[in-house]
Structure 1
Amino acid sequence: MRWAALGEAGKVVAMLAGIEPEREDKGVRNFPAQIRDAEPWRRELADNGCIDLAAVMEPGIAALLAINARGADCKPAALALWREFSAARTAMLGLLPPSGGMGPRRSA
């Protein structure tokens, strides 16, 4: 749920930055299932990364909305936050173990 909430926050920031949000690809969409099946150290880093990113995004979006509400241009700040979001998301996706193109492990 946290991953999905971060994705939605990223869309808000992209909108405020005046850019088209990236289309959610299969890797982004499947990240929670794939990281759940990864080694514990990878899961821990991903969980901490999500917590850290949420700690940046929540006040960042609040500040952007306050700037926007005053009628000021929030695009430069939103673009900076978008870049931080994008870099953090890419780093977390890098925590996935190489899978050779296979999806998450399934169990019956």
Structure 2
Amino acid sequence: MNALSHEFDLSNATMLPPLDRRAPTARDHANLAAQWEAVHEAAAAIGVLAQLGRPEESEAVTGLPRRAAAKGGYQYDMVLRGVDDLAAVMQPGLRALLALSAGGRDTTSAALTLWREFHASRDAIIALAPDC
């Protein structure tokens, strides 16, 4: 009888190295804080295009990089990946909105949609490193 080959054949798989469990350094914290700030600057521009303006941010928002660094481990990694993902979504969305605006088109509806997506994603990232 012949063995069937299927997509779950792991006979040639390589083992991945263990995750780096070191505590975040001050440089890591600074990079995360800078990226978090940049994402919020992009959100502020989207808020203007959505005719909403820029709201005041709470400590839950501004303190995320500090809380994530203090927690370290998988929580820090998840926050870092979440912020990277959020930046990856925001960049092309903002570029598209700016191109529409430069062409004289109304961006309110599209900007409001991206604004809502930003806030939903941001709230999910914040939940990864709660204030407890």
User: What is the root-mean-square deviation in Å for CA atoms of aligned residues?
Assistant: 1.1
Aligned pair 1:8/2:41, yes or no?
A: yes
**Normalised by the size of structure 2, how large is the TM-score?**
0.71
The runs of 5 or more residues in structure 2 that have no matched partner are 1-33
**Normalised by the size of structure 1, how large is the TM-score?**
0.86
Contact 1:16 / 1:75 at 8 angstroms: preserved in 2?
yes
Q: Any runs of at least 4 consecutive aligned residues in structure 1 with deviations exceeding 3 A, and if so which?
A: none
Contact 1:67 / 1:73 at 8 angstroms: preserved in 2?
yes
1:98 is displaced (CA, Å) by 4.5
Equivalent residue number for residue 36 of structure 1:
69
Which fold has the larger relative contact order, with Cα–Cα distance below 8 Å and residues 6 or more apart in sequence?
1
Q: Secondary structure of 1:37's match?
A: helix
Equivalent residue number for residue 102 of structure 1:
none
Letter in 1 for 2:110: A
CA distance in 1, matches of 2:108, 2:71: 37
Equivalent residue number for residue 26 of structure 1:
59
Aligned pair 1:46/2:100, yes or no?
A: no
* Structure having the larger proportion of residues in helix: 1
